Structure 1
């Protein structure tokens, strides 16, 4: 009954109270996802042109960019025209934050956020309320692909969970958000045991959280033979979901994992549907490009740097913003019938790619994943390249660790790194988290 009341009464009433367009945008997205891709792309291009005209008039930063590159919004009629606008970097935002902000808004009245700076550059970001509502609508849509629905109670495995303080915040938690938290900053047998007890009382219908943190909790469930935590959906986000982690999570919960990709700067970028064969790009809210080292488009199936234009944010427009992630897109259609194209796979952040002495590079996340599935006895590992000729292998022993484990680990690493690169194994009790509660498994400092 509470789920039905939340979905059909409290959600609409709360939107009415806030004069929000979130539910209306969600209903629009529910319809648009089934449009033919050509029709969705027409809407996307229309929204892109509206954004370009707006940024040209109201963003001092982009007004100067347009003038410098000799382009006017009305000149942009094709993808090739669009590529004449230079790529925006994190450094650009950090150096010129206030110039990005629209002159139609008071900065102090915008919604603000700050990225954690995991790639070395911390950013201050600003969004108008309508942008936030549309982002929330896209999240509702993608969450429903996992098996969750409005009003269904959630179990959130997250770092630094929010603590409701005001009466309104507490009321919202009880009537709308309906979420219980496992704080990933305190993952221990005691905290996870207490969370299982809470789960049994509250019976959440879906799990949301950092991919690796969900995996750690799944391993705890499996190790303790706990089989009554059975959600209808699982959404793994905020980190790359490794395939061996997906296997363990699905086995422990008896439920498929939905992989979701987004970032603080632009919101939802892509998410898996119920077919789990790649992630559908959030076409009506973002314009996504995949570019090579020279900022030229790559072909389908080839890795490229992900560059995103936010079609929602008027408070602080972001055009052709390089998110510092690598990914591969596909022109294949999905069996689900949705018109949103496919992000075939993520290959990690640019900062996760390790460098080879001969000038090549390797996706560190992929190397970690391959090694963990190949070498028995390693529970967790992290690669840190502090010099071109050295990689530190932080290794956590698994229950099946033997005297041969480390030599097999080095052999697996030598398939990528030759003798010019020193490989130093460091015994760790656990892999340290970032302040956000996320984990990084490949770090290049070169």
Structure 2
């Protein structure tokens, strides 16, 4: 059998075979060997960036790096400058994996991973999905994700979906008429699992509930559903389990890093301790005891192209008291929830749709620092943004074109440049707010 998924990664220069071998060697370490591995990787990654990354050396400045807890914490704002200024020596934008963050926190930026770091990210994902019998080379995925709507971007994603064993349902319109077509696809295709944005999959579950349909009755090959990118509320999980007839697995990740935590078969949110070093810190950037809430701060142990060292991802979390070393459990995550926009036509669009709308203003020059979008009426929205310079008429027109494409025509958007944006009590921006 041709292993299309592995082949497609290797074709793009990702050393997946070698990455899986190294990942498995980490899994096989004893607890004492693991502790030594982590300390070595922490020393190795910071030494590499101090030697090879001018941006990170400048960021560290006069700070001592003898004690890990004294190393300054990085935030999303620290990455809002041209990617070329942030790359390590020996890497270029053509030789790395490059992408944009979703901007769900309101602080978008372009990031890079070296190709081996991206390969070991995939090794981590392959391992965790394997807990539920999912094989990326064999299993067929029903994918609830966004997709670029321009011809080249759309075609590229469809080709990637083909080699990745996926069928993608776009999430820009989740009205009942569209969800009826989604249901028909489940009747026609032998899907093994569902993966995608939480809010989109919840809307599909509510659609099935209205029609008194259990999905495994029409698609009996389904084994499991993985949800990501947004908060999964317990009542929604119960609803999905009932309407889909399969286990619902909650993942917590970040595109610039890896899977951060993934629900294991015992129902625990198990932290990725193989490719990441995850800390929970207080307001003074010092570790808190397990069971205490604090900032989720993460170090990418393998990414040599771009530093993510003590990186504050913008979430608040709590590690379980019984966590230790290799078996670290995330007890609770506070944050990451998006509303759904309801439009005049009846179309329902998840808040993450606005990533695709605002993508046109997320430029690599870092001009737009933060943004939030508020729905004030059924046809009216406000974009509040912080930037070095005012958006030009050309940029605004570009955004309006994206709105027509991804949402629907005749919506009214007003743009408000601000010195700063309002935050929650925990200091977090909510990218989309429905104020109706």
TM-score normalized by the length of structure 2? 0.72
2:184 corresponds in structure 1 to 197
Q: How does 1:371-390 map to 2 (within 5 A)?
A: none
SS of the aligned residue for 2:335 comes to strand
- Contact 1:113–1:125 (CA under 8 A) maintained in structure 2: yes
The root-mean-square deviation of aligned C-alpha atoms, in Å, is 3.4
1:264 corresponds in structure 2 to 255
User: Taking structure 1 as reference, are residues 216 and 110 closer, same or farther at Cα in structure 2, changes over 3 Å only?
Assistant: same
- Contact 2:147–2:154 (CA under 8 A) maintained in structure 1: no
The answer on 1:211 being equivalent to 2:198 is: yes
**Equivalents in 2 of 1:122, 1:106: separation in Å?**
21
SS of the aligned residue for 2:131 comes to helix
Structure 2: runs of 5+ lacking an equivalent: 358-371, 375-420, 425-436
**Equivalents in 1 of 2:83, 2:159: separation in Å?**
35
Structure 2 residue corresponding to 1:186, chosen from 167, 173, 179: 173
2:271 corresponds in structure 1 to 281
- 1:276-312 residue CA offsets vs partner (Å, 9 max, x unmatched): 12x2111121111101122121111111100111112
Structure 2 residue corresponding to 1:113, chosen from 87, 90, 99: 99
SS of the aligned residue for 1:187 comes to coil
Give, in angstroms, the shift of residue 260 of structure 1: 0.7
**Equivalents in 2 of 1:114, 1:166: separation in Å?**
17
**Equivalents in 1 of 2:167, 2:112: separation in Å?**
28
Q: How does 1:25-424 map to 2 (within 5 A)?
A: 25-30=19-24, 32-33=26-27, 35-71=29-65, 75=66, 81-95=67-81, 97-150=83-136, 151-160=138-147, 173-174=161-162, 176-227=163-214, 228-230=218-220, 231-277=222-268, 279-332=269-322, 339-348=326-335
**Equivalents in 1 of 2:109, 2:156: separation in Å?**
30
Bigger Cα Rg: 1
Give, in angstroms, the shift of residue 173 of structure 1: 3.9
SS of the aligned residue for 1:119 comes to coil
Give, in angstroms, the shift of residue 321 of structure 1: 0.7
- Contact 2:341–2:351 (CA under 8 A) maintained in structure 1: no
Structure 1 residue corresponding to 2:351, chosen from 433, 437, 445: 433
Give, in angstroms, the shift of residue 107 of structure 1: 3.1
The answer on 1:22 being equivalent to 2:9 is: no
**Equivalents in 2 of 1:16, 1:395: separation in Å?**
39
- Contact 1:280–1:340 (CA under 8 A) maintained in structure 2: yes
- Contact 1:308–1:321 (CA under 8 A) maintained in structure 2: yes
**Equivalents in 1 of 2:341, 2:185: separation in Å?**
32
**Equivalents in 1 of 2:263, 2:332: separation in Å?**
10
Give, in angstroms, the shift of residue 217 of structure 1: 0.8
Give, in angstroms, the shift of residue 249 of structure 1: 0.8
- 1:7-65 residue CA offsets vs partner (Å, 9 max, x unmatched): xx434544554553224423443454354444333222222211111101111122234
**Equivalents in 2 of 1:202, 1:70: separation in Å?**
57
SS of the aligned residue for 1:265 comes to coil
User: Taking structure 1 as reference, are residues 171 and 234 closer, same or farther at Cα in structure 2, changes over 3 Å only?
Assistant: same
**Equivalents in 2 of 1:93, 1:119: separation in Å?**
14
Give, in angstroms, the shift of residue 137 of structure 1: 1.6
SS of the aligned residue for 2:243 comes to helix
User: Taking structure 1 as reference, are residues 30 and 253 closer, same or farther at Cα in structure 2, changes over 3 Å only?
Assistant: farther
- Contact 1:65–1:85 (CA under 8 A) maintained in structure 2: no
- The alignment covers a number of residue pairs equal to 355
User: Taking structure 1 as reference, are residues 440 and 41 closer, same or farther at Cα in structure 2, changes over 3 Å only?
Assistant: farther
SS of the aligned residue for 1:186 comes to coil
Higher relative contact order (CA 8 A, sep 6+): 2
1:388 corresponds in structure 2 to none
